[in-house]
Structure 1
Amino acid sequence: MVTYSVTTGVFNIKKIKRKIQVVLSSMFLMGAFTFGMGFTHNAKVQAEEDVIVIQKGDTLYSIAKRYGTTVQKLKEDNHLASDLIYVGQKLQVPGQPQVETLYVVMAGSFSKKSNADKRVALLKQHKVDAVVVSKFIDNKTYYRIQAGAFSKKENAEKQLKMLNTAGIGDAYILTSKPLQLNGITVGSSYNQVVEKYGVPNFSEEQQNTISHFYVDEGAGLRMQLSSENGSVKQLHVYPEYLPLLNIPREKAQVIENYDHPNIVEKVSCYESAVCEKMTYQLNGLQLNVQIDRDGKTVQYLELKEIR
């Protein structure tokens, strides 16, 4: 760090650099200018986000429901004279899709893993793809059989009926929210992150990882972006350095938001302390939550893809 002392104080190059970063970052996020300080590929993401390509089976109604808007608003924003759309057509849509409910089909729950494995083997004989999912509740591990996660309730009900026909009378359906952090999940765009978390005081970028600083000296979040389309591949959130109120900050809030974890284990953390790591796995995503050595405070949350 270079400093220059004068009668009235100290000229701090590091602080000036940060102030410059704040100005540049804010101007970039408003779309006013594009600068070459490592932000050019983010500008590309900003230009391309909020645009979807129509797929087979899409309708204006289904798209409006998915993105929390109306058919009339979609037609106005895209200058459509009718409800007719076609495969391959590009449409402007709101920046953040709504978090939909998942319907998870469970084919039994066991206190012994060996019994759960037997149930999975039986289901495979009936051509049902099922996996054992552990659940840690009240300091005890239970083994549940997951036989599919569906966005449509009717598909989950069909799967349940198939299980009943196969002789699985204790099958049932659970509703669950996809794993996400304040509405951001794997596949969200950079600007969706800014929309949900707010404009940072300043940002730092290294390769495909961007850190956002909101309060104090620590990064409130770090995201790894895809080199192909700039979407979020992995997200780390540090509640201590975030002004948001809807990010879980305590273990009890994590369980309230995401239910009981699949796995709980003891891990080493700072100053040779022992912390607790809670792991959630659902529909190809994994959420890791590290709890401080006080057994209460959330240190960080990490969301990533596991497929």
Structure 2
Amino acid sequence: MITGFLRNRRVRAGGVVLAIFVLVAITGDLLIEWYGVGPFDVDYGNLHAAPGVNGHWLGTTISGQDVLSQLISGARGSITVGLLSGVLATVLAVVIGVTSGFLGGPVDHALNGVTNVVLTLPSFAMTLIVAGYLGSAGGAAEPAIGLVVMAVLIGIFEWPSGARYLRSQTMSLRSRDFTMATRMTGESTWRLIVIEMLPHLAGIISAMFLRAVVAGIFAEASLNFLGVATQGTISWGTMIANAQAQGALTYGWWWWFIAPGLCIALIGTATALINFGLDEVTNPRLRPGDRAVIRAHARTVRRLQAAGERP
């Protein structure tokens, strides 16, 4: 499966795009140093300059700050929030969903009740309120701490739907023959979950993680757009929020908000390609070769039915 996963064209294309963004987030300081213009440096002679003017490859903001430098610096903030929130949401969904579905009984009722309660909450509104309160109460907190707090808030409200799906899949796997046979050999419950259950859920969990990462990036951008931002940090969300607040859309300064918006869209497209490739690898009906076999079989069945024969 791993070999087929790596050979899939959609997976490779999406993986390359994601790898580029992660590399930019990791090496952002070196790239900015090579570029020669910091994200907070002000060029008073080139306010809201168009791309390519006086060495500003993607133009400048209304304050004369370089858009490309802010884009590189913002990759770290957005991707950090997306990855942290995605990891937290996925871990919570796996622990609660798989445990609930496998153990059943009172444990299932309790965990499923918690999942349903969190699922019915207006997650984005709750995140907005809590993040705004922590931002006003925390004052000038460290930027890194602010990003972690935002990621935790997003991840806490993002796991219930994944937990419900994993619970249903685990309940189905629990009644399979291989699970019953392994249980009869005397294996412990947690070994059954880790060794027998999780490998069969790996495709679902990986797709869930990618979706959670993109949802975290979108949530971070939305929160910043609505004014809940961590002071002293730059992210793609803060760039879009500042562009909107300073009238970039009204005055036609498209380079200010198009660049971060395009980056968010590219990450969403990359994760979608990986998910499509993952479906093709794990689902035989979606594999190109298997699709041809299925179509040929369907044509044979129709031909036999037209001739009045039993297929």
- The TM-score normalised by the length of structure 2 is 0.26
Structure with greater strand share of residues: 1
Structure with greater helix share of residues: 2
- The TM-score normalised by the length of structure 1 is 0.27
Q: Which has the higher contact order (CA 8 A, sep 6+)?
A: 2
